[in-house]
Structure 1
Amino acid sequence: MEHYSKKSLCSFIDEEKKTTTQSPIHRHLPYKTLQEKMTSQYDYFAPATPPTPPRSPDSPWTVSPFQTPSPSLLHHCVASLHHRDGGSIYSIAATQGGILFTGSDTRRIRAWRQPDCTEHGYIKASSGEVRVMLAHGNTLFTAHADRRVRVWNVANYNSDVFRPKKVTTLPQKPSFLNFTAIANHQKKHKDCISCLAYYHAEGLLYTGSWDKNVNTWRVSDNRLVDSFLAHEDSVNAIVVNQDDGCVFTCSSDGTVKIWRRVAGQNPHTLTMTLKFQPSPVNALSLSASASSCFLYSGSSDGFINFWEKEKITSRFNHGGFLQGHRFAVLCLVATEKLVFSGSEDTTIRVWRREEGSCFHECLAVLDAHRGPVRCLAAVLEVERVVMGFVVYSAGLDQTFKVWRVKVLPEEGVVVERGGEHLKRKIMEYEVSPVLSPSWVEKKLQGSHSFH
């Protein structure tokens, strides 16, 4: 398997690349060693059932990749939009109230009504390049080129006239009468804010930056309660476990770190470092429920590693990796038993974790984008027998797409483990994506081997 470069997320995020890709469906493979991972052959599984007749040409739905009589997943792209302001869309944030926000390299944050994505107004800030956003309840957090975070009240988003209100800016501008603002400003990030996370129970906002640091803000009084050097390279993503307040960070240094904050104290303590690849880690997502907790990380080598939390020791054990993307994984969303991954190879993959195990399968590849998929958001619509999702994606091709996804229940088809009967047949495919020659040439010129 060839690796064209060791680029981190921040090294190519501003480049606009156009490409088309054709790639077969990959499944989760058990992890052995890094050397085996780099050199092993691709294995794929497909149900040993006859294909169904072709779907009606009038139907917008696409059946799952394996064309089974009872397909596991149906999907179709219901909208493909361009930002009115032009430029690439860097961030997406979806609210439970039915509004989606998109941020770009301009000062305007566009608001769209879900799920049809009709325009609903915009927020105009004093600084542009909104690279990351986070929505919680009636609050929207946005990070800008001036390395500050704006906090907006968007409580009236369901009214006919959209009138957002700016609550505060973190850090606030220093003044002679505001000593807290002066102290906070001294800890201001020295480089682009790349990620946000919010701990609901204590009202703590985490900001990660390419300056390698993580800042912790108490939103209620705009106070910076902690600032620490988290990694040896740029911090690319942060997630918080809402059950226990545990903080996860990932970096271009190739590590994922777990931090804890002692009750009643502000400093965060490093409790564990997860490192299973030399490649920069660009994205994190956490799937936590009463019965299980899985952490997913997307890397520049195209792999998605995952860890499962032990119930007794609370340690995270490496469970394997999801193999399928040809280039860097830039964004991840984990919801229910599904994982959505967006990649530099222009595709979005939908993975499902098997109930009660670590086995994952790729249900579909969504390949309508013509540039790297930069950000994703997924909203659950139906929770009955058939689960329905609306998925929003944006890429460096300057397009914003809306997908409808229907997931049918698992059919109980198992893979041979520990002597169990094999009920899937193995099929081999040739991996031959069609990529832009100029893009590949650019990656080859900037490539250097993994250490």
Structure 2
Amino acid sequence: MKVRSWLSTCSSTTCIATSGGGGATTPSTKPFHSDTSSDIQFLSSPSSQDTSSSSLQSNLSLLTLPSVPSLQKLSPENLNLSVATHFLTTLKHRRPVHINFMAVNDNLLYAASGNEVNVFEIINNTLIDTFSGDNISSGAVKSVAFCDGKIFTAHQDCKIRVWKLTIHKKHKFITILPTLEDRFRKFILPQNYVKVRRHKKKLWIEHHDAVSGLAVYENSVSSISWDKSLKIWRGADFRCTESITAHDDSINAVIVSNDGIIYTGSADKRIKVWGTAKVQEKKEKKIHLIATLEKHKSAVNALALNSARNILFSGACDRSILVWEREESANYMVVTGALRGHSRAILCLISVNDFLFSGSADQTLRIWQRRVDGLYCCLAVLDGHQKPVRSLTAAEGGDSGGGVKVFSGSFDGEIKVWQVDVSGVISPLS
């Protein structure tokens, strides 16, 4: 059961959310393919019960920008804060096919489109390089990560490719993971093989389905796959050091906190939390399961951590974004909020400067923030894409020297660039 089912039609919802642990309602569980017309309920504190959708909607105003996407905002009276969003441009590349993933590194935007990765200078929004697998059979690029000065790309052909950036800003291929040396060390011994199908075995260091995501912590790379496994790779010598069957279905999202905690989200509706512990005999770190988080009603597609790395956001096909916080009295993490507003599946999430950006199959982006009273509010709704918004990334600063420059990529093959500024007064949009 893979992520392809997120395009199911869903009813529209209002753009509000509340936070609080008291009186939380646990959502009922339904099969992934079932009708999702009954949304996950709000998790609200008693003090926020008078904040109804009608009262918030009365303060919504719509700004229509000529020939560019529209912006929906909450009034400054409600937020003591305003957000101004400028639509900057649309990035073009060689082949306008699905944008699967985007990432920013050293003022360069890496956009995975089909089996290629297009690299843009984010200062002047120009395409400077395009690189891909050895041939078209490598399949779509699912993720891009950066470790020890190298670029790692995850592919649909079950492989991870490693590249380096030359002084001429071109990308040179280095190797494929697992490497030939790593395979050679393992292939002789029978215990290094695992059964992947009824009459097929593979080395435990190999993925046997699409590699769907990558995440980096210090000098190691974590990879996830539709084969339900989580693998750890050393960035120095590209060796696979550990592999575990992490979920009961395809894994769609992975993120690592600054203390090395790994979060994985899967089509089995679960989020799993993984830690590392030293094994004294071998003086190595081994992965162990810390907690399993179960609240979503369908496949989990996206994960994000706030800047303090103590709040986890998860987006799923049930159209909800859940807010998880660490609590000593609970089983590691508990749900303290639910953000609703998107009318279809949540496909991507990023957190920048304590603002949460979400992209959805409903073709829109939303900007969320937690206020001092604990309530989560939708600050803006951005539309302009003609297909589902599949990937988001951001660069702090932007053209005005402040705020955030946000890049949104969709299945229409376009990358739209937005300048998001937060201040006390909304500035005119041009």
TM-score bin (small chain): 0.7 to 0.9
Residue number among 185, 189, 214 corresponding to 1:179 in the alignment: 185
1:132 is displaced (CA, Å) by 1.2
- Matched residue, 2:102: 92
Give the secondary-structure state (helix, strand or coil) at the position aligned to 2:323: strand
- Matched residue, 1:169: 176
| Aligned residues between the structures | 384
Distance 1:354 1:145 in 2: 40
1:164 is displaced (CA, Å) by 1.9
- Matched residue, 1:338: 355
* More divergent stretch after superposition (114-123 vs 294-303): 114-123
Equivalent position amino acid for 2:323 in 1: F
Give the secondary-structure state (helix, strand or coil) at the position aligned to 1:302: coil
- Matched residue, 1:271: 290
**Does the 8 A contact of 2:144 with 2:152 survive in 1?**
yes
**Does the 8 A contact of 1:103 with 1:109 survive in 2?**
yes
Distance 2:41 2:310 in 1: 30
Superimposed CA distance per residue, residues 24-48 of structure 1 (whole angstroms, 9 cap, x where no aligned partner):
6333465423259547897255498
CA distance 1:208–1:361, change in 2 (3 Å): same
**Does the 8 A contact of 2:18 with 2:376 survive in 1?**
yes
Equivalent position amino acid for 2:365 in 1: I
CA distance 1:181–1:220, change in 2 (3 Å): farther
Distance 1:50 1:87 in 2: 35
Work out whether 1:112 is the aligned partner of 2:120: yes
Distance 1:319 1:28 in 2: 9
- Matched residue, 1:26: 16
Give structure 2 stretches of 5+ with no counterpart: 29-37, 43-50, 194-201
Give structure 1 stretches of 5+ with no counterpart: 1-6, 412-451
Distance 2:358 2:75 in 1: 22
* More divergent stretch after superposition (30-39 vs 401-410): 30-39
- Matched residue, 1:132: 143
Question: Percent of counterpart pairs with the same letter?
Answer: 30
Work out whether 1:308 is the aligned partner of 2:301: no
1:267 is displaced (CA, Å) by 2.6
Superimposed CA distance per residue, residues 383-419 of structure 1 (whole angstroms, 9 cap, x where no aligned partner):
99x95111111111121111111112699xxxxxxxx
1:142 is displaced (CA, Å) by 0.5
Spell out the pairing of 1:285-364 with structure 2 (5 A cutoff). Answer: 285-289=304-308, 293-310=310-327, 315-355=332-372, 358-364=374-380
**Does the 8 A contact of 1:287 with 1:335 survive in 2?**
yes
Distance 1:262 1:368 in 2: 46
Superimposed CA distance per residue, residues 68-127 of structure 1 (whole angstroms, 9 cap, x where no aligned partner):
4876101122112343123211111111x2110111223x31110104321112223213
1:283 is displaced (CA, Å) by 0.6
Distance 2:381 2:132 in 1: 35
Work out whether 1:238 is the aligned partner of 2:223: no
**Does the 8 A contact of 1:283 with 1:330 survive in 2?**
yes
**Does the 8 A contact of 2:156 with 2:212 survive in 1?**
no
Distance 2:425 2:355 in 1: 12
* More divergent stretch after superposition (396-405 vs 124-133): 124-133
Work out whether 1:198 is the aligned partner of 2:205: no
- Matched residue, 2:156: 145
Distance 2:98 2:222 in 1: 25
1:175 is displaced (CA, Å) by 8.5
1:337 is displaced (CA, Å) by 1.1
Equivalent position amino acid for 1:370 in 2: Q
Work out whether 1:255 is the aligned partner of 2:270: yes
Give the secondary-structure state (helix, strand or coil) at the position aligned to 1:276: coil
CA distance 1:279–1:42, change in 2 (3 Å): farther
TM-score, normalised via structure 1 length: 0.75
Distance 2:67 2:81 in 1: 15
TM-score, normalised via structure 2 length: 0.78
Distance 1:22 1:232 in 2: 31
Which structure has greater strand proportion? 2
